[in-house]
């Protein structure tokens, strides 16, 4: 699978899942049913490490489950984006569009990382399937330096922003 195709597919999954989550929030749930994972009573580093490790483990998990081609990584990504979309939908109903944009600023950093992880997983799944089906001439797996460098940097920045929001009670 070509790099551009893997990112196009990952981005379209993001949009469909995110919109599904927003619709679920608007039509299906009451905001009080969501249980917060973090509390402003916790110290900064405790919140930050929980956020960073959770997001990093999702990416690692997507890569590991890509050994079972395609489906598990797709399901995990869809679930993650639906939860984010539902949370965003609740936020829009609570504080409006602009307040939500500020509240979910960290998501602008997390979303590209999840897209990178999903695109890598799709390419890796394609590579494994090509090897299994004996099409080794077409089986190549390319890993860009940008993907290796951007992933931890964006997760660190997103974790810091989200931790600050939680500590400030936003």
pLDDT of residue 35: 47
pLDDT of residue 34: 47
Cβ atoms of 10 and 118 within 8 Å: the answer is yes
Q: Give the C-alpha separation, 89 to 82, whole Å.
A: 10
pLDDT of residue 43: 83
Cβ atoms of 162 and 106 within 8 Å: the answer is yes
Binned average pLDDT, 10 residues per bin, the chain of 170 residues: 78 78 64 55 82 82 69 76 82 83 83 86 81 69 80 90 81
Cβ atoms of 117 and 58 within 8 Å: the answer is yes
Q: What is the pTM of this model?
A: 0.61
CA angle 70, 112, 57 (to 5 degrees): 60
Cβ atoms of 130 and 116 within 8 Å: the answer is no
Within 8 A by CB and 6+ apart from 65, the residues are 72, 73, 76, 121
């Amino acid at each position: 699978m070509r790099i551009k195709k893997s990112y196009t597919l990952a981005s379209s999954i993001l949009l469909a899942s995110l919109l599904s989550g927003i619709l679920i929030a608007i039509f299906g749930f009451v905001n009080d049913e969501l249980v917060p994972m973090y509390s402003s009573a916790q110290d900064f580093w405790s919140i930050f490490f929980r956020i960073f490790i959770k997001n990093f483990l999702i990416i690692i998990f997507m890569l590991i489950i890509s050994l079972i081609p395609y489906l598990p990584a797709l399901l995990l990504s869809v679930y993650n984006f639906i939860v984010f979309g539902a949370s965003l939908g609740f936020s829009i109903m609570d504080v409006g569009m602009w307040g939500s944009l500020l509240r979910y600023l960290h998501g602008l950093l997390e979303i590209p990382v999840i897209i990178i992880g999903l695109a890598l997983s799709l390419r890796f799944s394609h590579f494994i399937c090509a090897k299994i089906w004996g099409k080794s001439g077409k089986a190549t797996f390319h890993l860009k330096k940008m993907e290796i460098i951007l992933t931890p940097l964006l997760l660190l920045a997103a974790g810091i922003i989200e931790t600050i929001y939680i500590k400030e009670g936003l």
